[in-house]
Amino acid sequence: MNAIIFGAPGSGKGTYASRLRSRLGIDVIATGDIFRENLKAETPLGKKVKSYVEKGLLVPDDIVINMLKRRLAKVPKEKGFILDGCPRTIEQAKTLEDIVKIDVILLQMVPDWIIVERLGSRRICKSCGAVYNVRFLKPKVDGVCDKCGGSLYQRSDDTPEVVKRRLQIYQDQTSPLLQYYKKRNLPFIVSSITALDTPPETVVNTMIDELKKLNLA
Ligand code: ADP
């Protein structure tokens, strides 16, 4: 199965995708994670994207597409993948269409107030990128990753001002992609969250049930 997981910043895409990876043995390509790893390691790619990522602006399409092509080439043939954070523009979607077949869209519908609440208290593991929330998805030990023992930090683009910009960009540039995929008659699995404390497992279990109905899991 090749899937795209869509949703606004803070809608839970990364959290669900990593759980689907463990449950379905599928590869996850999270473009934001790849950029953050490159930023941290101060690679040439990291230097190129730094100012965009820190300001919450989209990285230019040519850089994203180049990186995506290289990463997709590494997906083992027998494995499917979930794209998290990509495509974000029509240009990216068109290029993707030329390289791979997408089977399903996993769409997260989350009201803005939940997103704002969540992002303010989100923490990320410095070593493995696992996502926590100091209010709703706490690590067992404060500030320490359950999975690898790494220390947790707050993303520099999770500040209220940058979050506002990221939400606006999602509305303006990324959400039109949903129409694009609807026109192509791709199946959609829509998860609607209405409460702050919905456990990720609940959402993921429903997604897997729906994927089974489509013969994709
Ligand atoms: P979120 O969905 O929480 O905003 P991501 O981790 O997916 O965060 O992305 C973080 C940042 O990385 C974005 O704000 C943007 O600067 C950059 N980025 C990630 N993926 C893309 C993409 N496909 N196109 C352009 N920029 C991207």
Q: What is the pLDDT along the chain (217 residues), one digit of tens a residue?
A: 999 999 999 999 999 999 999 999 999 999 999 999 999 999 999 999 999 999 999 999 999 999 999 999 999 988 999 999 999 999 999 999 999 999 999 999 999 889 988 999 999 999 998 999 998 889 999 999 999 999 999 999 999 899 999 999 999 999 999 999 999 999 999 999 999 889 999 999 999 999 999 999 9
155 lines ligand 1 (CB under 6 A): no
Cβ 35 under 6 angstroms from ligand 1: yes
Residue 215 CA to ligand 1 center (angstroms) comes to: 30
d(CA 190, CA 168): 21
- Active site (annotated) includes residue 13: yes
* Cβ-contact 137, 131 below 8 angstroms: yes
Top mutation candidate among 88, 116, 124 for ligand 1, by most atoms within 8 Å of CB: 88
CA distance 31 to 127: 17
Which of 33, 31, 17, 27 minimizes the C-alpha distance to 76?
27
